[in-house]
Amino acid sequence: MSPGRVAPRLDIDALLDDARTRVVVCCGSGGVGKTTTSAALAIRAAERGRRTVVLTIDPARRLAQALGLTMLDNEPRRVVGVPADGDAPAADAPRGVHARASIGVDSRPPGELHAMMLDMRRTFDEMVQAHADPDRAEKIIANPFYQTISSSFSGTQEYMAMEKLGQLAATGEWDLIIVDTPPSRSALDFLDAPQHMSTFLDGRMIRLPSSPARAGGRGLRKLLGAGFALFTKAVSTILGGQLLADASAFVQAFDTMFGGFRERAEATYALLRSPGTVFVVVAAPEPDALREAAYFVDRLSGEDAPLAGLVLNRTHPVLAPLSAGSARDAADGLRGAPLAAAVLRLHADRADLADREARLLARFTNAHPEVAVVRVPVVAGDIADLDGLREIGTRLAVGPTEPAAGSIGLALLVPGRSGGLG
């Protein structure tokens, strides 16, 4: 149905099963289901035998509850019920047409799933404590300027997510780390963050107002001449003297830590580029989300970062091979069968929507033919528990089922419910 090229299929199970895969970073614009996808991937990996930890950024309450994350504690916690144990065989019970792809729990050693929610402020504090002696650390943490930076600097969340990833990787405890990325305005922010933040903290600009005697400061002053004096005057008029004083105190206290920070940012950067790290771009079948996904793909290939592929989330594949036009014609011709007419009309809408989604994906694939794709059919209703996440995991692994492949069990389409046609 989709015109143009066909993208290679993203094989999620092969990716998760490969022992060389150590870090999976899920990125994409806000509202595409990134956090849910991360959690679903993590459960699937754990139930396929890997010792997995998932780092979530800001999970919705129900998702957090499903993972047992009832409080923000910045450390991984074991998720109870993963892998599903013998007396609750939800995961390995045959599930309709997807049974052949069911999770092979019995043939592998049991994995484990741990989950955590990022506490940005605490991660930053811990980083300061690790790099400075207790006295100095205390001074830094009490500084108002530090408090602003650690809680509201744009990019802090991205930076801290990467810092936490670095910490998790350094323990050597995990077979696989799955990282959700912050809901950035643009998916790209996240890649820039470590660089941006360390440039800022390490940069010359921040030293200017505090250390006029430094060579850099003097050079810049000479360069800018009177303009610079006006600028500092303007900045201090606008921002107030106290802020500059705080900034200055912060910089002095921070001075000895700059090297450590830079090293760390560089180490995280290197981790993101090591062979064990792969990126998965998540998008919804909407023009905006796919445009962001395309930028991200370009950016990753520009940096030689390994891209596993695109997860096209929440698609609406047609389940009955009947064109929108003939369904509408048939509905128009029906008399006295309101339910049958409604069924045909909603099918026609769905076929149009599927067509649009296929066109959007085709446009992406024409521009990026090498990017592997898996389409994940939408799960109707909300995902509120581990079984819902398992269902998404199955769909991630299997993709949409062609309607001609056979009849489809209804129970499968209504997660959490059993029973068929009644």
Partner 1 sequence: MTSGWPAALSGVRLHVVSGKGGTGKTTVAAALVLALATGGRRVLLIEVEGRQGIAQLFDTPPLPYEERKVAVAPGGGEVRALAVDPEAALLEYLEMFYRLGIAGRTLRRMGAIEFATTLAPGLRDVLLTGKVKECVTRTGADGRHVYDAVVLDAPPTGRVVSFLDVTKEMAELAKTGPIHKQSEGVVRLVHSPQTAVHLVTLLEDLPVTETLEAVAALGKADLPTGAVIVNRVRPQWLPDRSVAAAAGGRMDAERIRSGLSCAGLDLPVEVVDGLVAETVEHAVQVHAEAAASIRLDGEPAESLPRLELPQLIDGVHLGSLYELAEALVEQGVEVRRTSGVRV
Which residues, 87 to 126, sit near partner 1 by CB under 8 A? Answer: none
Number of residues that bind partner 1 (CB under 8 A): 89
Nearer to partner 1, 287 or 369 (CB): 287
| 88, 270, 320, 367: residue in contact with partner 1 (rule CB under 8 A) | 320
What binding mask, one character per residue, do residues 211-250 give for partner 1 by CB under 8 A, x or -? ---------x--xxxxxx-xx-xxx-xxxx-xx---x---
Least distance CB 214 / partner 1 (angstroms): 16
Which residues, 326 to 355, sit near partner 1 by CB under 8 A? Answer: 330, 333-347, 349-350, 352-353
Nearer to partner 1, 108 or 363 (CB): 363
| 3, 4, 30, 110: residue in contact with partner 1 (rule CB under 8 A) | 30
Which residues, 176 to 215, sit near partner 1 by CB under 8 A? Answer: 183, 185-186, 200, 203, 205-206
Please say whether the dihedral angle defined by the alpha carbons of residues 380, 384, 387 and 388, taken in this order, is positive or negative. positive
What is the C-alpha end-to-end distance of the chain, expressed in Å?
Answer: 34
What binding mask, one character per residue, do residues 48-67 give for partner 1 by CB under 8 A, x or -? ------------xxx-----
Cα gap 17→46, rounded to integer Å: 10
Say whether residue 407 binds partner 1 (CB under 8 A): yes
Residue 37 contacts residue 289 (beta carbons within 8 Å): no
Which of these ranges, 67-75, 79-87, 107-115, 284-292, lies near partner 1 under the rule CB under 8 A?
284-292
SS3 assignment, position 334: coil
Least distance CB 344 / partner 1 (angstroms): 7
DSSP 350-371: HHHHHHHHHHHHHHHHHH-TT-
Contacts of 217 (CB under 8 A, 6+ apart): 204, 207, 208, 211
What distances in angstroms separate CA 386 from CA 106, 121, 174, one per listed residue? 19, 29, 21
Least distance CB 295 / partner 1 (angstroms): 11
Reduced DSSP (H G I as helix, E B as strand, rest coil) percent helix, strand, coil of the chain, to 5: 55, 10, 35
What binding mask, one character per residue, do residues 136-175 give for partner 1 by CB under 8 A, x or -? ---------x--x---xxx---------------------
> For residue 329, what is the DSSP state?
H
How many C-beta neighbours within 10 Å does residue 406 have? 10
Q: Going edge to edge, which strands form the sheet with 77-78?
A: 77-78, 112-117, 51-56, 176-180, 23-27, 277-283, 307-315, 373-377
Say whether residue 290 binds partner 1 (CB under 8 A): no
